Amino acid sequence: MDSLDDEIPDGDALAVGRRVRALRVERGMTLAELAAAVGRAPSQLSMIENGRREPRLSMLRAIARALGVSADTLVSEEPLDARSALEVALEREMRSPRFRALGLTPFRIPKGMPDEAIAAILRLTGEIDRLRDERQATPEEARRANLELRRLMRAQGNYFPDLERQAAELLAAVGHPGGPLTQRAAGEIAAHLGVTLHYVADLPASTRSVVDLRHGRLYLPHRVSADPRAAMLQALASRVLGHAEPASYAEFLRQRVEQNYLAGALLVPEAHAVAALVEAKRRREISIEDLRDAYAVSYETAAHRFTNLATRHLDIPVHFLKVHESGTITKAYENDDVNFPTDRLGSIEGQLCCRQWTSRAVFDVDDRFNPYFQYTDTGGGTYWCTARVEHSSQGAHSVSVGVRFDDTRWFVGRDTRHRGVSRHADEVCCRRPPEGLAEKWRAGAWPNVATPRTLLATLPTGAFPGVDTTDVYAFLEQHAPT
């Protein structure tokens, strides 16, 4: 009797069924004859051949014996003949949610249907996907997606137990003893997942890394970054999480957040980091810099990871800001009721940060070696923040983590004398110039506006916004093993 877990390895029922049918026809057997040979009803064999039932391994072996081949032949990754490959591709399209969303009813592909007709249908479905990607990639869609994701993160305290569990299981699988993840251990994670690492000088400019799913190869830039583990783990995270090609910008954004979260959980393992943070809280010496240095990660990674763990394990609500040197907020999170500027949809990203806030004030500080601390009085209470400036190809960004005044007692830097007053909800706070200056210069100034490109343009289109897929496919074709 077949066991419940006795299933074919790859689970590609359509391709397996087509191979069974092709071999049966090649040997001149009827469906009834093959069914009799394996002791099953013809209707059951028909469902297997049509890909509507996935045979268990014992059944697959029986079919293989009756056809005079090995079971490996039936689950081989070798391409089917051209006609079968077309039929399998169309069957998959007809079973996809997007096919039904068009109001189309799946149909049985007749033997007499020309190959050209099947190919035309496949090209049309591909074009529909492309047009859908273009329509959804609008700034408003991006703001809505960001807002929904931030609401989810706030409800969860920015802590996701499933991702923490997967990180712990992966670290255990490679025998990681706890503590900081070494570069060698990161390489062992790649090997455990069946992925080989390849450093290249011609990685497509629109990508940080490229995964060849077909051959299990991860391509990374030849020029090693400050932390080569981060890009590698973010790319591997999608494989661990089973991400499929995103069907919407919201799904793309969610996948990216999950990738970054899992990579952070691998670099800064929960159990080890929580023990250190609990001890630091006991000593009233919590420091993002200490977390950064202990795990050899960037300040931004340490800040993100702290927001993952602070509310769940330390009972400390927090907020996080990443602000470009132009003053534009590029990332934000809060569950401590801080009042950030928002647009009419409630989106924070893209808004100007108050120039009195720590995230802007830090740009005027000459000392870039030590962290900058500041208390800021707001209409909703006083907040304390720690901030640093980091540089990237997009320019300088400040990264800050803050808490309510009552929670400041747990942190290094609570004795700072830097103070600010922010009333960003009121336009006179910093967005409107002082009346005297405005009166003097309003008629005598004509600034040449450096208009952000995203102000007038839609977001980059495609399933992976901003990625030049032509470059990616040409790159993979060039580097694929022969």
Note the pLDDT tens digit of each residue in 247-261: 777 888 899 899 999
Task: Give the model confidence (pLDDT) of 335-364 as tens digits.
Answer: 999 988 887 777 788 888 888 899 999 999
Q: Does pLDDT of 16 surpass 60?
A: yes
pLDDT given for residue 8 in this prediction = 44
The two tokens of residue 79 are 């391409």
Query: Closest Cα to residue 85, out of 173, 157, 176, 15?
Result: 15
Mean pLDDT (whole number) for 442-455: 58
More confident residue, 29 or 458: 29
Rg of the chain's alpha carbons, rounded to an integer? 28
Contact 62, 69 (CB under 8 A): no
Mean pLDDT (whole number) for 373-401: 91
More confident residue, 388 or 347: 388
Query: Closest Cα to residue 250, out of 473, 2, 465, 481?
Result: 465
Chain position carrying tokens 């890394």: 209
Phi and psi at residue 328, to the nearest 5°: -80, 135
pLDDT band at 377 (very low <50, low <70, confident <90, very high): very high
Task: Give the model confidence (pLDDT) of 55-87 as tens digits.
Answer: 888 888 899 899 998 888 888 767 667 888 888
Task: Give the model confidence (pLDDT) of 271-282 as tens digits.
Answer: 999 999 999 999
The Cα 7–Cα 58 span in angstroms is: 8
pLDDT given for residue 277 in this prediction = 97
pLDDT band at 458 (very low <50, low <70, confident <90, very high): very low
Distance of CA 437 to CAs 145, 316, 440, 443, 472, Å?
39, 42, 5, 11, 52
Q: What is the DSSP letter of 367?
A: -
Share in percent of the chain as helix, strand, coil (round to 5)? 50, 15, 40
Going from N- to C-terminal start, the domains of the chain cover 13-78, 83-136
Q: Which of 3-7, 82-86, 242-246, 466-470 has the lowest mean pLDDT?
A: 3-7
Q: Does pLDDT of 455 surpass 50?
A: no
Q: Does pLDDT of 435 surpass 60?
A: yes
The Cα 108–Cα 91 span in angstroms is: 9
CATH code of the domain occupying 13-78? 1.10.260.40
Bridge-based pairing of strands 329-334 and 319-324 is: antiparallel
Amino acid of residue 152: L
Report the sign of the C-alpha dihedral through residues 32, 36, 41, 45, in that order. negative
The Cα 306–Cα 33 span in angstroms is: 65
Contact 166, 240 (CB under 8 A): yes
